[in-house]
């Protein structure tokens, strides 16, 4: 078995254990939230009899281990149950809301990489100069304020005072795009509708930027610190002595070794954005899974809570596996460590 394959098998096995643990934990925790799920679902006007019938239907009167047994039986058939909040199968809800969140997080992740890493490089290259100080302040601002604060500030600046960007939804009402992947930026291209693509991009820009700001700050600061350390290495000194251009030194010789610690943080940030997306989704009325997750927690919608947390955990785990593989690809020492002794 090759070292990369061995690494993949090892990571997937660990991921399965993590997911089973998460499912047991969230199944128990969801039931500790105060309130009767049946009463909350049926609303204040429901009679005691109606509430009792729903409790029976949901097996809420059974012991928790039996309830978990029913859950495992159903999930093995791909059934996460029905959401009491939307009255639809949880799998239908997740299939509808997950692509919107993934699209938002992926675009935010791309922004984090495409803006954060160059900012770190520039900062390191011009260490101690005006541009470095300025970028450090910008990075610090990004890290220090939570995403939803940025979401409101950006909305006020670029939608309220300067009406440049839209404030709600994924695309203008006038466009009808056939859902193929659920990712509007891709579906509009599949549809061959360039105008709709730009409209979707125009809608996603502000929420994705608000979501990515903290990551941009972190990526920039980390890249700067790592690159400054790398710049002090003798081989960089040698490159300078050979007359290699500063841009080439920065992009080819200083950046790659500095990328490995940044990549770990970017991976974690990327996964964390799935959770942080909630408030940004709320501010920009983005119909995503994070907003759905919080709504179902507030209504103690047990099936939907477990389904949402499992999907977010699965995405978190997958992103971490991908990051591990990327690091192994960039750092041969990790690949070699997987070889059989």
- Residues in touch with other proteins (CB under 8 A): 33-36, 39-40, 42-50, 53, 85-88, 93, 96-97, 118, 122, 131, 152, 155-156, 159-160, 163-169, 172-174, 198-199, 202, 205, 247, 282-285, 287, 291-292, 295, 300
Whether 172 contacts 193, CB under 8 Å: no
Distance CA 7, CA 17 (A): 16
Q: How far is the CB of 50 from other proteins (least distance, A)?
A: 5
Q: How far is the CB of 152 from other proteins (least distance, A)?
A: 6
Q: Select 92 or 144, whichever has its Cβ closest to other proteins.
A: 92
Distance CA 151, CA 155 (A): 6
Q: In the structure encoding, which two tokens stand for residue 241, read together? A: 């002595």
Q: How far is the CB of 125 from other proteins (least distance, A)?
A: 8
Q: Select 198 or 235, whichever has its Cβ closest to other proteins.
A: 198
Cα-Cα end-to-end distance for the chain: 13
What letter does residue 41 receive in the DSSP assignment?
H
Q: Select 173 or 241, whichever has its Cβ closest to other proteins.
A: 173
Whether 64 contacts 71, CB under 8 Å: no
* 3-class secondary-structure state, position 34: coil
Helix runs in the chain, H state only: 3-32, 37-42, 48-57, 64-76, 90-111, 117-125, 130-144, 147-155, 184-190, 194-231, 234-241, 246-248, 255-283, 289-298, 302-330, 332-337
Q: Select 71 or 284, whichever has its Cβ closest to other proteins.
A: 284
Q: How far is the CB of 86 from other proteins (least distance, A)?
A: 4
Q: Select 49 or 63, whichever has its Cβ closest to other proteins.
A: 49
Q: How far is the CB of 105 from other proteins (least distance, A)?
A: 18
Distance of CA 252 to the CA centre of its chain: 29
Element (H, E) at 331: none
Q: Select 224 or 300, whichever has its Cβ closest to other proteins.
A: 300
Rg of the chain (C-alpha set): 24
Q: Select 34 or 234, whichever has its Cβ closest to other proteins.
A: 34
Q: How far is the CB of 300 from other proteins (least distance, A)?
A: 6
- Per the listing, tokens 């990328």 go with 259
Q: How far is the CB of 64 from other proteins (least distance, A)?
A: 18
Q: In the structure encoding, which two tokens stand for residue 336, read together? A: 């070699």
């Amino acid at each position: 078995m090759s070292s990369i394959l061995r690494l993949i098998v090892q990571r997937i096995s660990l991921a399965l254990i993590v997911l089973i643990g998460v499912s047991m934990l969230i199944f128990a925790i969801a039931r500790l939230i105060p309130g009767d799920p049946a009463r909350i679902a049926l609303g204040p006007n429901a009679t005691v009899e109606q509430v009792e019938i729903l409790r029976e239907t949901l097996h809420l009167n059974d012991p928790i281990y039996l309830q978990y047994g029913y859950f495992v039986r159903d999930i093995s058939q791909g059934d996460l149950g029905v959401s009491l909040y939307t009255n639809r199968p949880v799998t239908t809800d997740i299939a509808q809301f997950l692509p919107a969140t993934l699209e938002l997080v992926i675009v935010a992740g791309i922004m984090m990489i495409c803006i954060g890493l160059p900012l770190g490089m520039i900062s390191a290259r011009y260490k101690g100069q005006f541009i470095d100080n300025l970028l450090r302040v910008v990075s610090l601002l990004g890290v220090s304020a939570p995403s939803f604060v940025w979401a409101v500030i950006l909305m006020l600046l670029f939608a309220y005072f300067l009406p440049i960007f839209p404030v709600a939804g994924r695309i203008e009402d006038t466009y009808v795009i056939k859902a193929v992947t659920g990712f509007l930026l891709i579906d509009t291209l599949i549809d061959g509708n360039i105008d709709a693509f730009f409209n979707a991009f125009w809608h996603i820009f502000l929420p994705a930027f608000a979501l990515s700001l903290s990551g941009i700050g972190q990526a920039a600061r980390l890249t700067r610190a790592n690159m400054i350390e790398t710049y002090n290495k003798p081989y960089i000194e040698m490159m300078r002595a050979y007359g290699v251009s500063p841009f080439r030194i920065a992009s080819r010789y200083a950046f790659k070794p500095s990328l490995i610690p940044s990549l770990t943080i970017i991976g974690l940030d990327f996964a964390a954005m799935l959770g942080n997306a909630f408030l940004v989704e709320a501010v920009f009325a983005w119909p995503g899974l994070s907003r759905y997750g919080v709504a179902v927690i507030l209504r103690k919608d047990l099936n939907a809570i477990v389904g949402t947390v499992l999907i977010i955990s699965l995405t978190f785990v997958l992103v971490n596996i991908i990051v591990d593989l990327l690091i192994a690809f960039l750092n041969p020492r990790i690949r070699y460590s997987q070889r059989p002794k």
